[in-house]
Each structure stands twice: as structure tokens, then as C-alpha cells.
Amino acid sequence: MITDRHQILIVGGGSAGISVASRLARKGYDDVAIIEPSEKHYYQPLWTLVGAGQADLSLTERSQQSVTPKKATWIKKAAEGFDPDQNTVTCTDGSTYEYEVLIVSPGIQLDWDQVEGVAETIGKNGVSSNYTFDLAPKMWDMIRKTHSGTAVFTMPSGPIKCAGAPQKIAYLAADHWRRDGDLKDMEIHLVLPTPRTFGIPEIADTLDKVVADYGIILHTQSEVVAVDPDSKKVTIRDLADAGDTVIDYDVMHFTPPQSAPDWVKSSPLSTGEGPGYVDVDKHTMQHVRHPNVFSLGDAGSTPNSKTGAAIRKQAPVVAKNVDSYLKNEQLGGEYHGYASCPLVISNKKMLLAEFDYSMQMTPTFPTWMFNPAEPYRRYWHLKRYGLPFLYWNLMLKGIA
């Protein structure tokens, strides 16, 4: 039985869902509903600075009601299934909603249990993460209380949201220990599954200098495969030769493997393999098998970095293409993979990496003003103050 019907139904009220809902409202659509169970909305990019003691946690949280467009209907439930042949979405309470157009943006799932020993120790025993609201302040507490020993910073294989975050906290922690006079007593390991610190050579060259300056031991093409919280040991696997190295740790920032939510993976909208993201055309954001379904944000299968900056560019494309679909017009919106990775390297400087699907740099600011491969103090201020303002006041309101 159908509980309710809406012209446009959005699953997920995070950055992607709210941004596209606001843009559709500005286009005059007044029958837009958002399925979102959370009472709180978070600005997640600032959690990196929270975990480094450079921002207050309260700045990252607002009520879901305050960011939901007034013209939209907020359905305070959790979705659990799609039936694209019947144009319906089912929620965990058994209610079913029918749509003319569906927009899927439920975000990404943090798979803490994919690495042995992590789920039972995260948030204690010296192990935390900047990937959740409650864990980020614990990360800072652990960093500031550590004055000597071994620190490990990890990144998993596969797509993750804000792929620069695992190394940003390594640089910020090292900077803190240097300013406190403790860096000489710290052994810092950065574990990355990639061949270099970044996929763009010019930016990787700059980050190599940062790594060397802090004396960080860099493990490339490597991944943490087990954590032993009792003995405080971590197993690092070389992905090239499958050899394992076990080291002791005193503090660790752990970045979990990530994937589409399990119920999305098993749905008919999924790619059906790997992390199971929603199967969309990477330019139009339209589902490849169901033309009245669109997806954006972290749950989509677009082969680019999963960042808020990517969502900011995807939202107007989805809003335009949904509008065109409903008017039986050819889809004219195209997304070319823009993403931005603000790489904070200290409490004073940040490098702003901007690029597209081809991994070509696409800087917002003129290159005669800022070298896109170099860090600047002004970029740090952009990260701390400018981008949060843009997010709350412009992006979520469908203006920028």
C-alpha cells in the first residue's frame, strides 16, 4: 500500500540531498520530499580541524529542520529499499512512498568491521578518527596528550569521502607536536594504498616535501589489515608483495574502508559489484537503467573524489536534468568530475587541490595569483572560515 506520493522524492538529507532540494525549490517545484531520519545535519569537512584542535565541534552541527527547504516535505524516516519498476521507496517502518522522479543521496557507509580489531577499540586505547562527529574530539584529546612514542595514520583502499583527510591529520598532528617541542620524540607513520601521496604529480611533489620536513615515515601501496588493541600493535600490509609488517603504536588515526549503505548495495539501483554505489552516468548523473532516477554525492558511482566540492558542482547538474526530464526535454546538464581537496599541512597553511575526471588541475583562482601546487596562509583561512560560510549560507540554500 502506498503511504504517500510526491513528484520528486529525495533519499538522504545530507549535503547532496539538501543542496539539490533547494535548487529544485528555486526552480518552482513545490512537491519535493526528503527522506532523512537524522535530527542533526553536519558540516563534516571541518571535523579534520576539530580532530587537530583548530575548530570547535559545535560549529559543525545544526538541526536538520534548519537546513531543510521550507517548500520541501521532510519525512523523518530511514529508507531501506527501492522498487524502480513500481517507482517506490520503502522505509524501515514499512511505509512506502511513490515518486515521479527519485534522487538518491544517502551518503556513504563507514565499514569499521572490515579491519580486524578496529570496531571494538575505535574511540579508545589510543585509536580514534575524524570521520564521525563523536570521534573527532577524541582524536584531538589523544593527540594533545601524546608527547612521545609512535603515531600511525591510515588510509584504506577504495573510494572514500575526503580522500585527503587521512593525511591532513598526520600533518596537523606533526605540526602540533613540533610547536610543543615533542616532534623529535615522535615516530610518525603514514600508511597509504596509493603509489604516491596524491594522484597529481605536482601536488605529490609538494606533499613529499611536507612529509620529509616532518620526518614522517611514508608507507605507499600499503594498508592496515589488523589492529591489536591489547598489545597496541598494528599490522601493515605491502599491497605489492603482500608482506606484513607489525609495529607498535601509541596513538592512531584510523580511516575506515567505505562503501554504499548495505541496503543500497543489494538494491536494483546498485552497480552490483564492489562497494555497490548507485549506477549513474558520470556526466548526467542519471541512472543507467532507470531514466527517472538520479543520484549525487558519496553514494553515486561517479569515478571522482567524494567531496563536498564535488557535490556543489553535481547539485546544479542534477537539478537541471531533473527539470529537463520532467519537461520531456533533452538533458543538458553535464558534470565533468570537479572535486576539491583542501590539504591542510599546518596551523598556518593549506594547499587547495582542484581537479576533474582526467586528474587535470582546475584551479578556481588565477595561477598568476596562486600556484595551485603550493600551500598558502590564505587557503587555511578559506578552509576554517570561508568554506563553512559558503556551505551553510550558500550551498545548502541552492545559491552556490
Interval 101-122 mean pLDDT: 97
Q: Looking at domain 114-258, does it have CATH number 3.20.20.10?
A: no
pLDDT of residue 382: 94
**Which residue matches cell numbers 580532530?**
51
**Which residue matches cell numbers 558519496?**
298
pLDDT of residue 280: 98
Kindly tell me if the per-residue pLDDT of 90 is higher than 90: yes
Architecture of the 4-108+260-335 domain = 3-Layer(bba) Sandwich (3.50)
The CATH 3.50.50.60 portion of the chain extends over: 4-108+260-335, 114-258
pLDDT of residue 242: 80
pLDDT of residue 13: 97
- pLDDT tens digits along 360-377: 999 999 888 899 999 999
Which residue among 10, 188, 341, 396 is the active-site one?
341
**Which residue matches cell numbers 606533499?**
207
Q: How many whole angstroms separate alpha carbon 149 and alpha carbon 171?
A: 16
Contact assessment for residue 105 and residue 10, using Cβ atoms and an 8 Å cutoff: yes
**Cα 258-271-273 angle, rounded to 5 deg:** 65
pLDDT of residue 68: 97
pLDDT of residue 49: 97
Confidence of residue 305 (pLDDT cuts 50, 70, 90): confident
**Which residue matches cell numbers 578559506?**
382
Interval 142-158 mean pLDDT: 97
Q: How many whole angstroms separate alpha carbon 224 and alpha carbon 193?
A: 9
Sheet of 127-128: strand order equals 127-128, 251-253, 149-154, 186-191, 217-219
Sequence-distant (6+) residues with CB within 8 A of 158 are 257, 258, 259, 274, 275
Confidence of residue 153 (pLDDT cuts 50, 70, 90): very high
Indicate yes or no: pTM above 0.85: yes
- pLDDT tens digits along 254-284: 999 999 999 999 999 999 988 999 999 999 9
Q: How many whole angstroms separate alpha carbon 257 and alpha carbon 122?
A: 14
Which residue among 24, 162, 344, 353 is the active-site one?
162
- Reply yes or no on whether 91 is catalytic: no
Length of the chain equals: 400
